[in-house]
Amino acid sequence: MRLSAIALSVSLSFLAVPSFVPAFAKTAAPTAHADLKNSKGEDAGTVTFKQVKKGVQIKIALKNLPVGEHAVHIHAKPLCEAPDFKTAAGHFNPETKQHGFENPMGHHDGDLPRNVMIGEGHVGTASFTLSYISLDPAAPNSILANGGTSVVVHEKADDMKTDPTGNAGNRLACGVVSPTN
């Protein structure tokens, strides 16, 4: 009996040591999400964000949108007022660059590397990792800093070069980016 009391005391003392943190108990990587709505307030999909070693992993799952290729951008303001979603402002652009990956002046931090194709079932997905944004609110390129950002789906494809929007057309859906942990 005395030996089990000592063993219990020793095992409990490990729990009180702040420097001992098992691998499974480490803080999870920061994550965020945006629930997209169209101008009628109907579900248009989700975008999830996860901080990873090489930047931010983005997963886009769109639905209930017109068939075709659509631009998706991160916009500067965390506002999505229908019907036109102009309250989201322009693209997230803390470094005041030009629009598009093919633009020699650089690209906005809110520009994504490719469009999303919506198929016959009115759904489409895309995923990629961006090295030029962060979920750390203290970082200058954080999509969560200064009140946050939003994600906007446009009616047309992004031409990847024309400033300021890539000729992507009107805004079809919008969602505010919110931290999830």
Task: Specify the DSSP element, H or E, that contains 3.
Answer: helix 2-16
Q: Quick: pLDDT tens for 102-123.
A: 888 889 999 999 999 999 999 9
User: Which amino acid is present at 152?
Assistant: V
Q: Which of 17-21, 124-128, 142-146 has the lowest mean pLDDT?
A: 17-21
Residue carrying the six token digits 């633009």 = 103
Q: Quick: pLDDT tens for 137-160.
A: 999 999 999 999 999 999 999 999
Q: Which domains does the chain have, with CATH numbers?
A: 28-179 (2.60.40.200)
Distance CA 46, CA 152 (A): 11
How many helices, marked H, and strands, marked E, lie in the chain? 1, 10
Give Cβ neighbours of residue 145 (< 8 Å, ≥ 6 apart): 137, 138, 139
Distance CA 43, CA 61 (A): 11
Q: Which of 68-72, 93-97, 149-153 has the lowest mean pLDDT?
A: 93-97
Top pLDDT among 164 and 126 is at: 126
Indicate the average pLDDT of the chain.
87
For the cut 80, the answer to whether the pLDDT of residue 12 exceeds it is no
Task: Specify the DSSP element, H or E, that contains 74.
Answer: strand 72-75
- Mean pLDDT in residue range 85-91: 96
For the cut 60, the answer to whether the pLDDT of residue 170 exceeds it is yes
Q: Are 122 and 65 in contact (CB under 8 A)?
A: yes
What's the pTM value of the predicted model, to 2 decimals?
Answer: 0.83
